[in-house]
Structure 1
Amino acid sequence: METTVLVIEDDAAVRQGVVDALEYSGYRTLQAADGLAGLELARRGSYQLMLLDLMMPGRDGFAVLEALKRDRPGQPVIILSARGEEEDRVRGLRLGADDYVLKPFSVRELLARVEAVLRRSCERPAPVDQWSIPGGAVDFSTGELTFSDGGREMLSEREAALLRYLLGAEGRVVTRAEILRHVWGLDPARTETRTLDMHVMHLRTKLRDVHQSLLVTVRGKGWRLNA
């Protein structure tokens, strides 16, 4: 599969130079010229790595990064910035950036950083296949829920994907838009569907979550799994 890199940079010359270097090296690219357009593309686009400038109109890079990490946790990001102060570097890394490259940079250095971050992201631990849940366990390799009283339930492929994603969020509230994007592969801005609600309802039934204390609805925000 071709690797896609999203470049968010307001300086047209720098942006074009980065895009040209990436495409010459075999990457596909997406690009945006300001923070607002960049965040919109970052939320709905399909890409494996983001290159993010800090000083931009609309929204600065820190705001884009902070919003992105709420919607797409685990998304690899490299900051490109002329701001080399320690405070800025530390802030960017604490917000979830994987690397921080100072301008001006050489094409060789940038490509080496891109390759390193992509390699690290591919080497991150894969999700485990078995999880404990209150009263039982789920085996994602078979799609089966088992309970301590001997009961069993089979999950559909989509139910299993939804439960895995919620478990991976580790108690964080997950929004409808995030699930539609990452589990369903749909653009939430262009999607009107209640199928997600039906899947949540079916999943609660199979989890024996009668009082909705395990898979909790957070009104106006989304869902949280208390596992």
Structure 2
Amino acid sequence: MPSVLVVDDEELVARSVAAYLEADGVQARVAGDAREGERLWRETRPDAVVLDVRLPGTSGLDLLRRMRSDADRTPVVLLSGLGSVDDRIIGLELGADDYLTKPFSPRELVLRVHALLRRGDIHPGDGSRPVTVGPLTLEPSTRSASLAGSEQVLAPREFDLLLFLAQHAGSTFGTRELLRRVWGWDFGDDSTVVVHVRRLRRKFEPDPSEPMLLTTVRGTGYRLGTADELTASLAEASR
């Protein structure tokens, strides 16, 4: 049975979310603040975390920062207040995988959590087979990625996005299509994709301000180069 940690100082919200998760076959634990949340996260190693941004004392963003600084890849769904755009952007920058704005439907949250728990299922073919695009190699079995032999630690959604683009190297995808095919959403904020692309560029591009590998096709979307293009771009950058 998968397990989920719910960290929210609003007890009614936390208990309601936990009840919906457990009714759907997920073991749920509840923490009322970041300190208790961090303790339970370290002790139980849940399969996913539902994390409120605005917690008393240490914020949810600070807890997320600690998790990712430990190279932890546990999927995280952020809960943010209505209109808290900055919190959502910062959370995605820190490595959150999804977010919902309060007030929200507990049922919708359960669906989002299940989507994260089965995120590998959206990719066709043999999920354990490495995907190679020139100097870029992705290992779905370990969810690791390396460029020219240099391995990078990726958050779950970063890996999902890069894997999808690598499986379709040379093709261009708009943000809406990426939300649908990588996140499994028919709705959502374009900034979710924009932030994840920016994070990937910081980790793989020789100069993130002048991307050569994962480029923007103006008015269309994002494109990961072909094997020959990635090889040529790295060679040019090393001159």
What CA distance in whole angstroms lies between the structure 1 residues aligned with 2:150 and 2:57? Answer: 29
Deviation at 1:108, TM superposition (A): 2.2
Query: What is the match of residue 74 of structure 1?
Result: 73
- The 2-side partners of 1:32 and 1:103 are apart by 18
The residue that corresponds to 1:112 in the other structure is 111
Query: Does the 8 A contact of 1:76 with 1:121 survive in 2?
Result: no
In the aligned structure 1, how far is the partner of 2:121 from the partner of 2:65? 22
Q: 1:14 to 1:127 in 2, by over 3 A?
A: farther
Matched residue, 2:26 = 27
Q: Percent identity?
A: 38
Distance 1:29 1:170 in 2: 33
Structure-2-length-normalised TM-score: 0.51
- Offset of residue 3 of structure 1: 0.7
- Matched residues in 1 for 2:88 and 2:65: separation? 14
Q: Is the 8 A contact 1:52 1:78 kept in 2?
A: yes
Q: Which has the higher contact order (CA 8 A, sep 6+)?
A: 2
CA distance in 2, matches of 1:101, 1:171: 28
Could you give the per-residue CA deviations for residues 117-173 of structure 1, whole angstroms, max 9, x where no partner exists? 222156686595xxxxxxxxxxxxxxxxxxxxxxxxxxxxxxxx9xxx9x999378x
Aligned amino acid, residue 21 of structure 2: L
Could you tell me how far apart the structure 2 residues matched to 1:86 and 1:107 are? 21
Aligned to 2:12: 13
Question: How does the TM-score come out when normalised to structure 1?
Answer: 0.53
Partner of 2:88: 89
Shift of 1:5: 0.6
CA 1:78/1:101 → structure 2, altered by over 3 Å: closer, same or farther? same
Q: In the TM superposition, what whole-angstrom CA distance separates every residue of 1:74-97 from its partner, at most 9, and x where no partner exists?
A: 210000121433221111111111
- The equivalent of 2:60 in structure 1 is 61
1:51 is paired with a residue whose SS is strand
Asked if the contact 1:43/1:72 (under 8 Å) is kept, the reply is no
Counterpart Cα distance in 2 of 1:43 and 1:169: 28
**Unaligned runs of at least 5 residues, structure 2:** 131-141, 154-239
SS in structure 1 of the partner of residue 78 of structure 2: strand
Given residue 170 of structure 1, which amino acid in structure 2 is its aligned partner?
A: E
Partner of 1:146: none
| Counterparts of 1:31 and 1:3, CA distance in 2 | 15
**Structure 1 residue 51: deviation in Å?**
0.2
Report if aligned partners of 1:43, 1:71 keep a CA contact under 8 Å in 2.
no
Q: 1:171 to 1:18 in 2, by over 3 A?
A: closer
> In the aligned structure 1, how far is the partner of 2:73 from the partner of 2:103?
27
**Does 2:46 match 1:47?**
yes
CA distance 1:169–1:117, shift in 2 (3 Å) = farther
Q: Quick one: structure 1 residues 123 and 71, their matched pair in 2 at CA, closer, same or farther if it must change by over 3 Å?
A: farther
Question: Which residue type is aligned with residue 38 of structure 1?
Answer: G
1:39 aligns to what SS in structure 2? helix
Q: Which amino acid aligns with 1:16?
A: R
Structure 1: runs of 5 or more not aligned: 129-160, 173-227
CA distance in 1, matches of 2:90, 2:118: 23
**What is the CA-CA distance between 1:65 and the residue it aligns to?**
0.3
Task: Tell me the equivalent position of 1:170.
Answer: 151
Query: RMSD across aligned C-alpha pairs, in angstroms?
Result: 3.2
Aligned residue identity for 1:76:
P
Runs of 4+ in structure 1 displaced over 2 angstroms? Answer: 83-86, 121-128, 167-172
The code of the aligned residue for 2:104 comes to F
